Amino acid sequence: MIIRIIQWFGWNWVAFLRDPDNYSEDGLQLFNSYIKNTGICLAFHEVLSQSSNYSLTFQKINRLNINVIVVFTGSQYAKNIIKEAIANNIRNKVWIASETWSMNQQLPKEPGLEKIGTIVGITERILSLPGFHEFIYKAKGTTEIYTNDNAESEIQMKTCNQYCDNCSMLTAKDIINEDPTFSFAIYSAIYTIAHALHKVLRCDINECRTNITVKPYMLLGEMKQLDFPLSGRQVKYDVNGDPAAVSYAVVLWHTETNPPWIQMVGTYETHPEITFTINNSLMPWRNNTAVPFSNCSVECKEGFSRERVGYHDCCFLCKKCPQNNYVNYSQATKQLILVELTVPWEERMEEAQERKREKYQELVEDCWRNGWRTEVGSREFASHSLSNAYGTLGITGANRRREIGNNVEAAEKASRWLWLKSGEQWGQ
């Protein structure tokens, strides 16, 4: 989903910061695998520990002109990174937060946070849990502040027949204002276990069979087959036990206000089909200001082709195309089509065709080595290859027939001109 955000705004030159744990390491591996064939380049990545030189890391990012930084860490490391960014006077970056800290309730209050740029993040879709607030207030009673004198008795208070030693000093407000990222995940997990137990124990509306010994594999088997509605969402699992329906949100931190707040600006759904969208009108650069630029190179204008510079595909110079050459390419499909239409003297047609093919041979081989499908058209008349080239470009039906007719007419006119000039000296 982070990659979808990067693609949505047209960025291709990004940094990835992670911490030493397995969660962050897996995140980097997945990021590297998913950006293949997307046109996105991982310009810089670093593993940050508590003793890392954050200042040096930011210097490297600035030297590389990277303006989009993915922070795929736990909440504590994210706090360190953001605080160091403020201390190092980092400005005008886009920070993409992983779900572990995107809904952090304390970090948006950090003084100076509004100066470092824009913070967007991903999180599980936040849904209200019916009756949760009422339950918490009822469970905690009417007293919100407890003294040491009655703390011990408070520990003995039961909630759903459970003891919670660590919850006794928390007020209802403390609990309700906690990071809500995983609230629905926990809520649906409890309902999943309850539904699975209901199935294993063969319960009806009156009772369950108490003579059945419940084994973990029995629960797991039932869980994989569950499919039930919960708070407007469908809870179901695939053959691997993973949620079949995923609902995520893109959130934006409003750090310029007091108090700061977090707004949902986009969604990612997998049920009933995969959809991803961001409401551009809610972004901070909506008022006729440009989307922050984080690309290695400026895209080439019409009439120019890319000439890669260095290791990354998204770093290139723009080289002017030779006259009468046409290049069409697609980053999404890694497909490149080169077309050169010429009209040689009739006796030299085969020679001209071979010359054109040799002209592009090195480029074609380089493209194939880098996973690009390449087609070269170098015929000088309207053969089958011309029709195929139009089809590959998406020009079909009546439009293709019309364009082929135009090509035939142009070739005939050029051939006639060559014939009329055949008796003259070239260059006169």
CATH, residue 27: 3.40.50.2300
Do 210 and 357 belong together in one domain? no
Do 332 and 349 belong together in one domain? yes
Do 14 and 115 belong together in one domain? yes
**pTM for the complete prediction?**
0.66
Domains in the chain, number: 3
* pLDDT on residue 379: 44
Burial label for 70, CB within 10 Å (0-12, 13-18, 19+), is: buried
Do 381 and 329 belong together in one domain? yes
Report if residue 79 sits inside a domain. yes
Q: Is 345 helix (H, G, I), strand (E, B) or coil?
A: coil
Report if residue 292 sits inside a domain. no
Distance CA 266, CA 279 (A): 6
Report if residue 6 sits inside a domain. yes
Other Cβ atoms within 10 Å of 428 Cβ, number: 5
* pLDDT on residue 254: 93
Q: Which domain holds residue 373?
A: 322-420
Distance CA 428, CA 425 (A): 6
* pLDDT on residue 389: 73
Do 103 and 143 belong together in one domain? no
Report if residue 230 sits inside a domain. yes
Do 155 and 259 belong together in one domain? no
Report if residue 313 sits inside a domain. no
Residues 71, 82, 298: CA angle, nearest 5 degrees: 55
**Cβ–Cβ < 8 Å for 411, 403:** no
* pLDDT on residue 326: 60
- Listed as ranges, residues in the chain with pLDDT below 50 are 143-158, 378-380
* pLDDT on residue 374: 62
- Taking alpha carbons only, the member of 30, 54, 23, 57 closest to residue 43 is 57
The 8-class DSSP code of residue 420 comes to: H
Of 174, 204, 236, the position where a domain reaches its end is 236
Q: Is 114 helix (H, G, I), strand (E, B) or coil?
A: helix
* pLDDT on residue 146: 41
At which residue do the structure tokens 């497909």 appear? 335
Distance CA 270, CA 97 (A): 21
- Taking alpha carbons only, the member of 80, 85, 88 closest to residue 118 is 85
Report if residue 412 sits inside a domain. yes
Do 188 and 58 belong together in one domain? no
Report if residue 214 sits inside a domain. yes
Do 223 and 276 belong together in one domain? no
Do 274 and 225 belong together in one domain? no
Do 35 and 57 belong together in one domain? yes
**Cβ–Cβ < 8 Å for 241, 89:** no
Paired tokens of 1: 């989903």
Do 136 and 120 belong together in one domain? no
Do 110 and 94 belong together in one domain? yes
- Taking alpha carbons only, the member of 216, 172, 175 closest to residue 193 is 216
At which residue do the structure tokens 């590389």 appear? 64
Q: Terminal CA-to-CA distance of the chain, rounded, Å?
A: 63
- Taking alpha carbons only, the member of 45, 54, 36 closest to residue 15 is 45
Strands of 344-419, DSSP E: 373-377
* pLDDT on residue 330: 60
